[in-house]
Structure 1
Amino acid sequence: MRYRAPAIAAVLCVTVAITTSQANAVAAPAAVAAGPALVAIDPPTIADEAPMVHIRELQKIADANGGNRAHGRAGFKASVDYVKRTLDAAGFQTTLHPFTHAGAQGWNVIAEWPHGDANNVVMLGAHLDSVTAGPGLNDNGTGASALLENALTVAKSNLRPDKRMRFGWWGAEEVGLIGSKAYVSSLSAAEKKKIGAYLNFDMVGTKKVTKWGIYSDGDAGLASQLDAWFKARNIPTISINLNSRSDHAAFRAAGIKASGVISEDSLSRLDPCYHQACDNAANVLPKAEGIATNMIASIFWQLAGAKTAVAPVRS
């Protein structure tokens, strides 16, 4: 057999040429499509009527369940179901946090917007239960409804915040701040450290509100930020020391920065229906409820670093 070196060399040359071409093709950088940019955004103005929709739903629940929404009663469980159902439909990661008190099952509703840094959490809370005497629409359907409408606004705005936005609706608070304590106690030390701020909202729709109470038995910086929002709108405020008698107490005791707002400068002087059967939907002032709902949105979006995705402009 004769040796045919030139033919082999030609094959090698062709092979080298093909391999080099393929390598160059692989090495060439692929074109990367520009993704949406994140830009800071302010919350939209929330109409006074928006949270009142939830107030009326809670009234219907009380009417259908013996006139109240108290711990251990059917009205409270129906309130929990309404809040969770609404949040689930809006795209929240929603869980029921169970606990027992006085032989009765209770629940907290915890909802998290699934965007933002999960290691840096800003949390809002309000108690969802009433006393057995009545439906509890000012105390505290107002705080619960303001939070629920804020959650829906976050979802509608499709926020991509810097920090994780978390909401809590507490059970059995009227019988000893049970739900919020149970929730905080269930958190590991590491999970507690992730919560950079907690804000509580209680009775924020009082009909005869003259001054908005800012919790003074908590973090001074958060209290100052809340107070500044009202002052910028010439709305009178007063510092109020609740002596840890509200839902922020468990957070404060755990070393978490906490504060809150209440729409009266004493717990009962401005609301003759406080813990009475007449604390119904008619006992809520829509204007006060609207002020609270918009205040919550403004502060929450600031604390969380609210942003929205904006598609890049194509040339």
Structure 2
Amino acid sequence: MKLSVSGRATATAVVAAATLLATGSIAGAAPAPEPVAIAAAPDIPVTAVKAHLTQLQSIATANGGNRAHGRTGYRASLDYVKAKLDAAGFTTTIQQFTASGRVGYNLIADWPGGDTNQVVMAGSHLDSVSSGAGINDNGTGSAAVLEAALTVARTGYQPTKHLRFAWWGAEELGLVGSRYYVNSLSLANRARISGYLNFDMIGSPNPGYFVYDDDPAIEKTFKDYFAGIGVATEIETEGDGRSDHAPFKSAGVPVGGLFTGASRAKTAAQVTKWGGTAGQAFDRCYHSSCDTTANVNDTALNRNADALAHAVWTLSQ
């Protein structure tokens, strides 16, 4: 709307008065409080994330080719992640449950400090299917969450809110581990979680850039990050409700997350937006033996790992 001459004069006077008040130039006026600076997230080196993927691949190779629930490869994967977190100063907890006649485990890692009445969580499922090593699904999410947690420790980050990271077991059997965790929480402890961020497949070889359409503030945080690096996003629909955010959402916890696509084919319009191959699945090796370290797009993994860190830092201050 265009202002009239008198309107412009009035607006100018209002701005001038506001400026005087803000600077304390009017007698008796208190200075305006300084804005609180938001610490920017550090870069998450994709080489560090890939180093974790190499370890997960080696674990799978040494344990029958997979890291599935109830198998030795899963427990070895959990032990690898836990050792890294323990050495970095996290308080770690292993939560045990049973599914399909086998013992499963969740790993929870709390960073000391922050307001425990406001908990920001980031998590991923650590198990693979029995047919392969599960490096994109979901070594990529697990490795990126791990490296973000290690970066918190390495930088000595002290957020206002309390940070908690999680690696879920038996997701491939129907979100068993994450559901067990949520159901084990008291109503008061559920209410203390101000947001849960989920990362399940974030390095697909023919990638898309999908953001969960759930909590508006979390969704905006991710979209703003990608907009800032010039990458278009779409709303995630292929796996909606099929990953570990679902039990949190059902319990009333605000959720969000990232995804680079699974078995659905990339469209020509998406190729125009992101590159890649039209008519081909985002991940041709989804739930297959070829889901190895060769099945990861480094650019997508790097962008999503940095977006993960951006959300953790932004939402915890």
TM category, shorter: 0.7 to 0.9
SS of the equivalent of 2:198 reads: strand
Offset of residue 267 of structure 1:
5.1
Offset of residue 248 of structure 1:
0.3
1:118-129 aligned within 5 A: 118-129=116-127
1:98-113 aligned within 5 A: 98-113=96-111
Offset of residue 243 of structure 1:
3.8
Q: Does 1:251 align with 2:263?
A: no
User: Does the CA-based 8 Å contact 2:41-2:313 persist in structure 1?
Assistant: yes
Counterpart of 1:184 in structure 2 is 182
Counterpart of 1:274 in structure 2 is 286
User: Does the CA-based 8 Å contact 1:127-1:171 persist in structure 2?
Assistant: yes
User: Does the CA-based 8 Å contact 2:109-2:164 persist in structure 1?
Assistant: yes
Residues 130/74 of structure 1: CA separation in 2 closer, same or farther (3 Å cut): same
SS of the equivalent of 1:125 reads: strand
1:131-280 aligned within 5 A: 131-209=129-207, 211-216=208-213, 218-241=214-237, 242-264=239-261, 269-280=281-292
Match of 2:311 among 284, 288, 299: 299
Counterpart of 2:40 in structure 1 is 42
Give the TM-score normalised by structure 2.
Answer: 0.81
Offset of residue 40 of structure 1:
4.6
Q: Deviations over 1:16-46 (max 9, x none)?
A: xxxxxxxxxxxxxxxxxxxxxx975222222
Offset of residue 159 of structure 1:
1.2
Q: Deviations over 1:268-305 (max 9, x none)?
A: 72111000000001111222211111111111101111
Match of 2:295 among 280, 283, 302: 283
Q: Deviations over 1:141-193 (max 9, x none)?
A: 00000000001100001111100010010000001110000000000000001
Q: Deviations over 1:65-108 (max 9, x none)?
A: 00000001110010010011110000000010111101100000
Out of 264-273 and 191-200, give the one that drifted further: 264-273
**How many corresponding residue pairs?**
266
SS of the equivalent of 1:174 reads: helix
Q: Distance in 2 between matches of 1:267 and 1:97?
A: 34
What is the letter of the counterpart of residue 214 of structure 1? V
SS of the equivalent of 1:276 reads: coil
**Structure 2: 5+ residue stretches without partners:** 1-35, 266-280
RMSD: 1.5
Q: Distance in 2 between matches of 1:40 and 1:243?
A: 31
Residues 41/228 of structure 1: CA separation in 2 closer, same or farther (3 Å cut): closer
User: Does the CA-based 8 Å contact 2:202-2:258 persist in structure 1?
Assistant: yes
User: Does the CA-based 8 Å contact 1:129-1:171 persist in structure 2?
Assistant: yes
What is the letter of the counterpart of residue 296 of structure 2? V
Q: Does 1:61 align with 2:73?
A: no
Residues 265/55 of structure 1: CA separation in 2 closer, same or farther (3 Å cut): closer
Name which one, 1 or 2, has greater alpha-carbon Rg: 1
What is the letter of the counterpart of residue 251 of structure 2? A
Q: Distance in 1 between matches of 2:240 and 2:53?
A: 28
Q: Distance in 1 between matches of 2:254 and 2:37?
A: 27
User: Does the CA-based 8 Å contact 1:192-1:256 persist in structure 2?
Assistant: yes
User: Does the CA-based 8 Å contact 2:204-2:262 persist in structure 1?
Assistant: no
Residues 91/63 of structure 1: CA separation in 2 closer, same or farther (3 Å cut): same
**Structure 1: 5+ residue stretches without partners:** 1-37, 306-315
Residues 119/267 of structure 1: CA separation in 2 closer, same or farther (3 Å cut): farther
SS of the equivalent of 2:202 reads: coil
Residues 256/267 of structure 1: CA separation in 2 closer, same or farther (3 Å cut): farther
User: Does the CA-based 8 Å contact 1:212-1:262 persist in structure 2?
Assistant: yes
What is the letter of the counterpart of residue 97 of structure 1? Q
Work out which structure has the larger RCO, using CA pairs closer than 8 Å and 6 or more positions apart in sequence: 1
Higher strand share: 1
Offset of residue 115 of structure 1:
1.1
Q: Distance in 1 between matches of 2:220 and 2:41?
A: 20
Identity of aligned residues (%): 47
User: Does the CA-based 8 Å contact 1:70-1:76 persist in structure 2?
Assistant: yes
Q: Distance in 1 between matches of 2:233 and 2:90?
A: 33
Q: Deviations over 1:173-228 (max 9, x none)?
A: 0011100000000000000010000110111011111x311112x21221122112
